[in-house]
Amino acid sequence: MNINDLRKLVLTRLGEGATYDHCVATEKCMAALAARFGEDEHLWAMTGLAHDLDLNECNEDLSDHTLIAKDVLEREQAPIALINAVLGHNDKAPRTTRLAKALWVVDPATGMITASALVRPSRSTADLTVKSIKKRMKDKRFAAAVNRDQIRACESELQIPLDEFLQLCLTAMQP
């Protein structure tokens, strides 16, 4: 399975819209992070793109989120490291690899960056800064569902300072 096949699969299951856009943003950030670490950019990009592919089909409480994706991805013979990372981001498998840890940290970061962009007059990441994202992170009422601690775990889980991590993701998401 290559990334073009996966893109078709994800689009078929999610349709166009916010969740698909979030998957693409996660794909871009994961690829940038892989480049930073000298890891497999293709595998990391695919993991980001795939991670929420079952979101429209799973229970409201997300109890089966990633379990449906696992079956779909296994049928498509996706790499086992990708499947384990996808499961890991919803606590359905231990996050033992750098890939799994990265996905878990990048997921809320893309959410925070998108939310921070949408309240700008431009509604774009083009003129967004790390300083502004960090200010939004400090405001607990802003995008309250986004877990800040999980974003800050870039330092403990990936050994990347928060500023560098946010800048890397922001740059990856800019048009």
Place of tokens 């970061």: 109
Give the Å distances, CA to CA, from 97 to 17, 63, 93.
30, 23, 11
Give the type of residue at 31.
A
d(C-alpha 79, C-alpha 67), whole Å:
15
CB of 121: closest distance to Fe ion in angstroms?
Answer: 27
Residue ranges in contact with Fe ion by CB under 5 A? 52, 107
Nearer to Fe ion, 52 or 127 (CB): 52
* Nearer residue to Fe ion within complex by CB, 54 or 107: 107
Supply the minimum distance, in Å, between the C-beta of residue 111 and Fe ion.
Answer: 7
- Residue 8, H or E segment: helix 3-14
Closest CB 134 distance from Fe ion, rounded Å: 21
CB closer to Fe ion, 125 vs 131: 125
CB 48 within 8 A of CB 30: yes
Taking the least distance from each CB to Fe ion, the nearer of 127 and 144 is 144
Enter the tokens of residue 27. Answer: 């794909």
Task: Identify which of residues 43 and 109 has a Cβ nearer to Fe ion in the complex.
Answer: 109
User: Taking the CB of residue 95, how many other CB atoms lie within 10 A of it?
Assistant: 19
CA quadruple 98, 62, 50, 145: dihedral, nearest 10: -70
For the bound state, the minimum distance from the C-beta of residue 80 to Fe ion, rounded and expressed in Å, comes to 20
**The one-letter amino acid at 155:** E
Shortest spacing between CB 10 and Fe ion, in angstroms? 12
